Amino acid sequence: LGISASLESLTRVIAPAVGGFLLAQFGAVGPGLFTALVMFWVVSFVWRHLVHGTDAMPPAAGSQGGEMISGSAS
Tell me whether residue 62 is in a domain: no
- % helix / strand / coil in the chain, to the nearest 5? 70, 0, 30
Provide the CB-side half-sphere exposure for 43 (13 A, CA): 6
Residues 5-24 have a mean pLDDT of 95
Tell me whether residue 57 is in a domain: no
- Domain that includes residue 28, residue range: 2-51
User: 43 pLDDT band (50/70/90 cuts)?
Assistant: very high
**Measured distance between the N- and C-terminal CA atoms of the chain, rounded to whole angstroms:** 42
- Name the domain count of the chain: 1
User: 54 pLDDT band (50/70/90 cuts)?
Assistant: low
Tell me whether residue 36 is in a domain: yes
Residues 42-51 have a mean pLDDT of 91
Tell me whether residue 61 is in a domain: no
Tell me whether residue 22 is in a domain: yes
User: 34 pLDDT band (50/70/90 cuts)?
Assistant: very high
